[in-house]
Amino acid sequence: MDWVNAIVQGTLLGGLYALFAAGLSLIFGVMRLVNIAHGDLIVLAAYLGLTVVVTTGLHPLLALIIVIPVMAAIGYALQRGILNQTLGDDILPPLLVTFGLSVILQNVFLEGYTADPQKMDAGAIETASISLGGLSLGILPLLTFAIAVGVIAGLQFIFYRTPLGRSFRAVSDNQDIAQLMGLNKRHIFGLAMALALAVTAIAGILLGIRTSFDPTAGGARLIYGFEAVIIGGLGNLWGTLVGGVILGVAQTIGAKIDPGWQLLAGHIAFLFVLAVRPNGLFPRVSG
């Protein structure tokens, strides 16, 4: 039963990892941009959430009402102001600019919030649980997983059922022809980044409720998100959810064997998938 419990808890944890990954997957799909600062942007959302909670006294989940639009605005400004200039055939500029951004963000957090770990207090929901067939499931992990499924379904809907998604797919397929058809790719890229950071806002708030975070917490979140994307297969959002679940289960099973093995087990699962299925489990686009 302990093992079943580890697998179930890992699956729920995977929902959070899928949320880390969804934004990364979205912007890679639309503009082939890999954002090294993605993890730090997740942490930025958590700090914004903390600031909102402390100043207004709102519940962390209600703080989303403010944090989501703020992050989306930051995303649009970031894309149009800086990142659009880096896009082209050369992979070096976007990589190095987002890497520089990551270092800047970490030190801004350090300056503004000190190095002390912070956490958001969500009250009773943090410890509430329901019993199900001998297992005790936390309400918060269940809610996180449900949100992850909802977010991915929503992104999937936007991508394939709306005019915005059609323009995303158009610039993804061929930027020049999309331009000829009257799309402004700079604007579309800005909207894609805004959407990605809106998802990141949700991920950041849930992270900040679940665990404590500090200015350097972003690197590990980027890596988990990245691993979920690669395990699931590039460009496949539902695959990303599966990737997150595999990563989460590997970590909880690793932790069950030896607490020191928790993170290592996740990385090993990733390297194993990379060794046997280099394109991930459900690839859709080639990198």
- Residue 94 touching another protein (CB under 8 A): yes
Selected range binding another protein among 8-16, 88-96, 131-139, 199-207, rule: CB under 8 A = 88-96
- Alpha-carbon span 92 to 34, nearest angstrom: 11
Sequence-separated (6 or more) residues with CB below 8 Å from residue 41: 23, 35, 71, 74, 105, 197, 200, 204, 218
By beta-carbon proximity to another protein, the closer residue of 99 and 160 is 99
Choose between 82 and 164: whose C-beta lies nearer to another protein.
82
Q: Give the one residue of 222, 228, 250, 269 binding another protein; rule: CB under 8 A.
A: 222
Phi, psi of 145, deg, nearest 5: -65, -45
- Per CB under 8 A, the segment of 169-177, 181-189, 195-203, 222-230 that binds another protein is 222-230
Cα distances (angstroms) measured from residue 144 to each of 24, 166, 219: 18, 28, 21
List, in sequence order, the alpha helices (H) in 162-236: 163-173, 175-180, 185-210, 218-232
Regarding 285 and contact with another protein (CB under 8 A), the answer is no
Closest-CA residue to 94 (of 83, 107, 102): 83
Q: Indicate the length of the chain as a whole number.
A: 287
CB nearer another protein, residue 94 or residue 141: 94
Judged by CB under 8 A, does residue 97 bind another protein?
A: yes
Considering only residues 19 to 38 of the shown chain, the ones binding another protein according to CB under 8 A are: 33-34, 36
Question: Which residues, in sequence order, are CB contacts of 146 under 8 Å at separation 6+?
Answer: 15
Quote the least distance from Cβ 284 to another protein, whole Å. Answer: 15
Cβ count within 10 A of residue 208: 28
Size of the site for another protein (CB under 8 A): 42
Contact status: 219 vs another protein (CB under 8 A):
yes
Among 52, 101, 170, 231, binds another protein (CB under 8 A): 101
Q: Which residues bind another protein (CB under 8 A)?
A: 33-34, 36, 82, 85-86, 91-97, 99-101, 103-104, 106-108, 110-111, 219-220, 222-223, 226-227, 230, 260-261, 263-264, 267-268, 270-271, 274-275, 278, 287
